[in-house]
Every structure is written in C-alpha cells, then in structure tokens.
Amino acid sequence: MSNRPTILIVEDEISISNFICSMLSANNYNAIAAKDGKSALEMIASYCPEVIILDLCLPDINGTEIIKSVRKWSQIPIIVVSARHHEKDKVEAFDLGADDYITKPFGSAELLARIRTAIRHANNAASTTLSQDGVFSVHNLTVDFDKRRVWVGNKEVHLTQNEYKIVALLSKHAGRVLTYSFIIKTLWGPHAKCENQILRVNMANIRRKIEENPAEPVYIITEVGVGYRMSDGE
C-alpha cells in the first residue's frame, strides 16, 4: 500500500467520485476523496497526495480557492476536472497554478494518462530542482541559465534579450502550461498590457531559430487560446 501513489479526488457528486476512486484503485493507486473544499484542504495537508483531481464547483468554496491555497506552500500536481468549458475558466485555472484541465465528460484512459504525466512531471521537477540555475536540456535543445546561452545540437542560437527570457522562463517550468498573461507579466512586469500579439511575434522568431520545422514545433508547444509549454522530453 505504501508504494501506491495517493490521489485525492475533490468532487461533490458522489457517483463521479466513486467512479474515479474505483478506477484508480483498479489501476494500483491509493484513492481518497473529499466532498467539499474545507475537508479537501485538511486532507491535502494531512496526506500530501501525489496528485489532486479537483472539481471547480464545490458546495462551500470555489475550486480556484483550493488552487490558490495549495500553491502558497506546495507544488503538488493539480488536475482540474470540470464541466466548465469556457476558455476563460481554463486560463484562470492555469494562471493560478493548475497543471492540467479536463472537461467533463471524460474517458478513463485519458484521466489515467493525465495522472501518469502529472506524476512524471513532478518527479522530473524534483530531480532537477538543484540544477535549475545551471543547464536545461531536452532532445537537442540546451539552455545554459548561468551563461544565458542557447544551443541546438552543437550550434549556438543567437536570441534577442526578450527571446532568451521567454525560452528561459518556459525551460524552468518545462512540462507545465504557462498562460500568455503569466509570461507577459513575469517578463514585462505586473502592469504590462497583456497584448498576446507581441508574445506571438517573439515566439515566431524563436521557433524559426530553434525548431527544425517551425510549423510543427517539438520544443515549445502552443496550447491554443491558453499559452505555451516547453517540452520536458515526454
């Protein structure tokens, strides 16, 4: 039992919660459940689960408050599972620190794949934390944070200052979706206008320099309507 990853399901609909718990148990996970936000926060602190599966519509508090609270002290992967399909809801969840977002209804295979990916990303992040000020590598791309230099294979890529900042930020959060607004405000300040066009122009230039085929990028992936994600090799 101790070797089974613990997954917390935060869901007030009993039928959905029971379904997810049964599916996870059948796939060698230790599934625990919370029916509301208050008990969820208590269980997160007590169990420190490997992954949190979170519904946004809870009877006592909004699920976004759970994300805010957890992100103050932990990087536990959070997968939002919600009936909210609007792009703005996804952007808000990612901006607050969610790792993934699945809309209901969903398939068992998809949820299990997302959980495996979340655990893998968390393990990768834990193993590379000490070297984040050093070098990031994925496939043939290498980013040296100390020297502020980038290579593809043995060829150095000459980036502008803004282009380098974008690549470095995405590299330090490899595997996670960073929203357009998060990138803009992180690099240009909290009062910067969220003009995605400026970011898209920079990204087009970056891809021309680092991607073999900019139309089919393998390093920096676009999450349409949300933001960008640096590949972590998975």
**What count of Cα atoms within 13 Å lies in the side-chain half-sphere of residue 190?**
0
What pLDDT does residue 1 have? Answer: 38
b/e per residue, 82-120, with b = 16+ CB within 10 A?
Answer: bebeeeebbbbbbbbbbbbbeeeeeeeeebeebbebbbe
Q: Indicate the fold that domain 6-128 takes in CATH.
A: Rossmann fold (3.40.50)
Predicted structure pTM score: 0.68
Segment 99-140, tens digit of pLDDT = 999 998 889 999 999 999 888 877 765 544 334 558 899 989
Ranges in the chain annotated CATH 3.40.50.2300: 6-128
Segment 9-46, tens digit of pLDDT = 999 999 999 999 999 999 999 999 999 999 999 998 88
Segment 193-228, tens digit of pLDDT = 656 777 888 999 999 999 999 999 999 999 888 899
Q: What angle do CA 115, 120, 126 make, to 5 degrees?
A: 130
Segment 46-67, tens digit of pLDDT = 888 889 999 999 999 999 999 9
Ranges in the chain annotated CATH 1.10.10.10: 132-230
10, 63 contact by CB (below 8 A): yes
Angle of helix 161-172 relative to helix 180-188, nearest 10 degrees, comes to: 120
Segment 141-184, tens digit of pLDDT = 999 988 889 999 999 999 988 899 899 999 988 888 898 888 88
Class of domain 132-230: mainly alpha
End-to-end CA distance of the chain: 27
